[in-house]
Amino acid sequence: MTQAGLSYMSRKYADEHTMGVDTKKSLEIIHLRGTVAVNLRPYTKIEDLADMMTKGAKYAWGNFVGVVIFPLWVRSEADPLEYVRRARATIDRKILSLEAFNFYGVIKFTMNFFGEKVVQAVSKRLYDHTTLTYSSVMGPNEDISIFDHPISYVAASALTGSQVFNIHIVSYVNKIIISLAVDATVNPDPHRLCDDMVESLNIIKSAALERGCHN
């Protein structure tokens, strides 16, 4: 969905500014890489906080997150499901490569032996050489409330250095919330990007339903 949304936005931009230049060729020169946060816990369901805080708990409190570098496919595709196929193939390779575990191990080793400043320098170099950070979190699958006040949606965001995009997606019951943090000097219209991502999701969903790929 993110790749398709970026492709639609770039295609619209190319149509408006290239004045007759082949849009497909203009998109082929775009090369983006993003960092994707990966949950490394073997059990992804939400645990009771009291159980996680117990000494010797199997799933202890705290972060257990790795990062992978993900090449983004920004192309004009006639078949919207091509974005899904490419993303699936890429992430399958990333899983087999153990990249996320290696990143977590390097950061933990660096923190233990060299300290926080070196970890910050390593992280800064990573984010300086990538375009965006992407995170997708599974939220509650049932309606929740706080002190009898019902929650209508859940949104989250974070800033990770010098990247121009931060895209965070959180699910809540039967909806997802897209939260963008954008460098306005690079993309002055983040609402358009968000709309393009929503549009791409609807197009991908419609294509899957038409072909009977998804129930």
pLDDT of residue 109: 92
Mean pLDDT of 129-153: 88
Q: Is the pLDDT of residue 168 over 70?
A: yes
Listed ranges 7-16, 39-48, 141-150; the one with the highest mean pLDDT: 141-150
CB-CB contact of 65 with 46 (8 Å): no
Stretch (H or E) spanning 96:
helix 81-97
pTM above 0.75, yes or no: no
pLDDT of residue 183: 82
With CA atoms as reference, report the closest residue to 89 among 78, 101, 81.
81
Strand pairing class (32-39; 65-72): antiparallel
Directed axis angle between helix 2-17 and helix 81-97, to 10°?
130
Burial state string for 93-116 with b = 16 or more CB within 10 A and e = fewer than 16: ebeeeebbeebbeebeebeeeeee
| Tokens, residue 101 | 């575990």
Q: Name 33's bridge partners.
A: 71
Kindly give, in sequence order, each residue whose CB lies less than 8 Å from that of residue 87, ignoring residues fewer than 6 positions away.
3, 73
Top pLDDT among 73 and 98 is at 98
pLDDT in tens, 44-84: 666 666 666 676 666 666 678 888 998 887 777 888 898 89
